[in-house]
Each structure stands twice: as structure tokens, then as C-alpha cells.
């Protein structure tokens, strides 16, 4: 397959290049393709006639989005629309990635694909609109909702909290529960779905569930960091954007696609960091 990956220097963009390495790839970072520009997308597809576009580009600043909604929408909504359209014009399929933050967190059970989204934040709305643009703009779409990404590459909660833990004790929110997801596990699962031509909406996140506090404790244990982790309430850590209290994702799609348990992701992440220890700069 010929595959164009957008946002290729992000966490998922990098992992997808590894997971899809047996295919013919064009990895485009923001300089090579700004997804806000429809003509740029068209012209890149004229040069590289992809069968698939995988959109790993996104505006991910959840709190900043509250004060700059246009910036979030330009990438997460209009950008998705541009890629859906450019791909559809060339009969290519689109993989688009979305988030657990499309849900309000009021459910008493994990969210499946048929549950009604109701975002609490500008970021969540911009991602939900992006899903809708991707689906409306291209009949050949695969939309993957995921959550709480962490990997040795890029910026994420896991690396930030480890960096803080190396300096001293930390306080971490314990009343938001979700699915920590190790990015290489997600990339492998997306590659598997593409290779079997899957379409429609899928929830793909690390199996099990955890609060940010439990996630941090497990990271510290695995990395043998002795600092203390203290649980706090969201109200003790005010943030501009409201987050869902419970955004655990499950999938009702058949055949079932399950990612490894998030704790397995933490172990793989710790091994990856140890392998590149001299380069670990949280």
C-alpha cells in the first residue's frame, strides 16, 4: 500500500512509520504538509498517489484551546475536512484519529462506539467536528478514538511526571479515570486495521483503566523512582479546560481489536527509555 502520514514528527506519526514500515510511505511533517491548506494536500497527493492518508496531525493543547478555539478548529476540524476531501477526490481512504475527550465522563460504564459524544471542552468539540468532517468528506474512512497517549518520543504526561519525580515528590489528580495508551501499541493496532481494510469508527486504547495518580505511581514503580506520589482532586489542580471524570474507552466492534493492558505499555515504555537512557531529557 502507498500511505501518506501527516503530522509525522508527532508521537503517533513516529510510531506509525515503524508499524507501517513494510509499505511505501511518505512521512510529511508540518513543514511538508500543513493540513490547514487544502491545495497543499492536493498537490502532495499529485506527487505521491497514496492509497491511504493517515492523519496523525493535531492541535493537542487542551487548555490553550479554550482561549484560541479558531486555532484548534483550523487543524482538528478544517484540517480533517481538507484531508477527507483531497483523499476522496483521488479515491484514497482516510484514517483519522480522535479522542476520549469527545465524551462528558458521566457514564457509569466504559464508552463504546455507539455512545453519544458530548464534549466538555473546545478541544473535545474541535475533535468531534473533525470526526464528522472525516466521515462526511470521504466514504472510505477509518476513525480511531484513543486516549492518554504516552511514548518515549514526544511530549506527554508520562515523561513530564517522570521528570518532576526525579526532582522530588509530586501531587497527581486521582478523580479522572481513563485508559493510558502506549503509542507503539496503538500504531500496531491501526496498521492491523488498515491491512485488513477496516472502516468506520473504532475505540482503541490501552486495556484496563487508571486515574492519573495510579498511572504516575505505576510509572514511578517501574522506573524505580523513590519520590512520593500524593493523590489530589481535580479541584486542587485548576485547569482552563474541563476534563471528563471517567473517559474509559471500550470497543463493541467485531472482530474484537484489543490493545495490551496499559501496565504492559508502561513496562515497554520503561524498557524503551532505559535503552535510550543517555538521550532521556524529560
Ligand X SMILES: NC(=O)c1ccc[n+]([C@@H]2O[C@H](COP(=O)([O-])OP(=O)(O)OC[C@H]3O[C@@H](n4cnc5c(N)ncnc54)[C@H](OP(=O)(O)O)[C@@H]3O)[C@@H](O)[C@H]2O)c1
Q: Is residue 212 close enough to count as binding ligand X by CB under 6 A?
A: no
* Per rule CB under 6 A, count of chain residues that contact ligand X: 27
Burial class (CB in 10 A: 0-12, 13-18, 19+), 59: buried
Would you say how long the chain is, in residues? Answer: 282
Q: Is residue 17 close enough to count as binding ligand X by CB under 6 A?
A: no
Please select the residue that binds ligand X; options are 44, 50, 57, 177, rule is CB under 6 A: 57
> Do the Cβ atoms of 135 and 81 come closer than 8 Å?
no
Please select the residue that binds ligand X; options are 5, 44, 81, 149, rule is CB under 6 A: 149
Here's the x/- map for ligand X, 99-128, by CB under 6 A: it reads as x---------------------------x-
Please select the residue that binds ligand X; options are 23, 36, 140, 267, rule is CB under 6 A: 36
d(CA 232, CA 172): 6
Would you say 192 or 228 has its CB closer to ligand X?
192
Would you say 23 or 36 has its CB closer to ligand X?
36
DSSP per-residue codes, 208-253: S-EEHHHHHHHHHHHHT----EEEE-GGGS--SS---SB--B----
Pairing assessment for the beta strands 210-211 and 177-178 based on DSSP bridges? antiparallel
Please select the residue that binds ligand X; options are 59, 111, 262, 269, rule is CB under 6 A: 59
Q: Is residue 178 close enough to count as binding ligand X by CB under 6 A?
A: no
Please select the residue that binds ligand X; options are 20, 52, 77, 79, rule is CB under 6 A: 79
Question: Please, which residues bridge with residue 25 across strands?
Answer: 3
How many helices and strands in the chain, by DSSP H and E?
9, 12
Interaction site with ligand X (CB under 6 A): 6-7, 9-13, 30, 33-36, 56-60, 75, 79, 97, 99, 127, 146-149, 154
Amino acid at each position: 500500500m502507498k500511505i501518506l502520514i501527516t503530522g509525522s514528527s508527532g508521537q503517533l506519526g513516529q510510531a506509525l512509520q515503524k508499524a507501517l514500515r513494510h509499505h511505501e510511505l511518505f512521512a510529511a511533517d508540518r513543514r511538508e504538509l500543513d493540513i490547514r491548506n487544502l491545495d497543499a494536500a492536493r498537490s502532495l497527493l499529485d506527487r505521491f498517489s497514496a492509497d491511504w492518508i493517515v492523519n496523525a496531525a493535531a492541535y493537542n493543547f487542551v487548555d490553550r484551546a479554550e482561549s484560541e478555539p479558531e486555532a484548534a478548529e483550523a487543524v482538528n476540524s478544517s484540517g480533517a475536512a481538507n484531508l477527507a476531501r483531497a483523499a476522496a477526490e483521488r479515491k484514497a481512504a482516510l484514517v483519522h484519529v480522535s479522542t476520549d475527550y469527545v465524551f462528558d465522563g458521566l457514564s457509569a460504564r466504559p464508552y463504546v462506539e455507539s455512545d453519544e459524544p458530548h464534549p466538555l471542552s473546545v478541544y473535545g468539540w474541535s475533535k468531534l467536528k473533525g470526526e464528522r468532517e472525516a466521515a462526511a468528506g470521504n466514504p472510505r474512512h477509518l476513525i480511531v478514538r484513543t486516549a492518554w497517549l504516552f511514548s518515549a518520543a514526544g511530549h506527554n504526561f508520562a515523561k513530564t511526571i517522570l521528570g518532576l519525580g526525579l526532582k522530588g515528590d509530586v501531587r497527581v489528580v486521582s478523580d479522572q479515570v481513563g485508559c493510558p495508551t502506549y503509542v507503539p501499541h496503538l500504531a500496531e493496532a491501526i496498521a492491523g486495521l488498515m491491512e485488513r481494510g477496516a472502516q468506520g469508527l473504532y475505540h482503541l486504547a490501552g486495556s484496563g483503566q487508571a486515574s492519573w495518580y495510579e498511572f504516575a505511581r505505576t510509572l514511578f514503580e517501574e522506573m524505580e523512582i523513590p519520590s512520593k506520589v500524593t493523590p489530589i482532586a481535580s479541584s486542587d489542580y485548576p485547569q482552563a479546560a474541563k476534563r471528563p471524570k471517567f473517559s474509559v474507552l471500550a470497543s463493541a466492534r467485531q472482530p474484537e481489536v484489543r490493545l495490551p493492558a496499559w501496565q504492559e505499555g508502561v513496562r515497554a515504555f520503561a524498557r524503551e527509555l532505559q535503552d535510550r537512557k543517555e538521550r532521556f531529557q524529560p
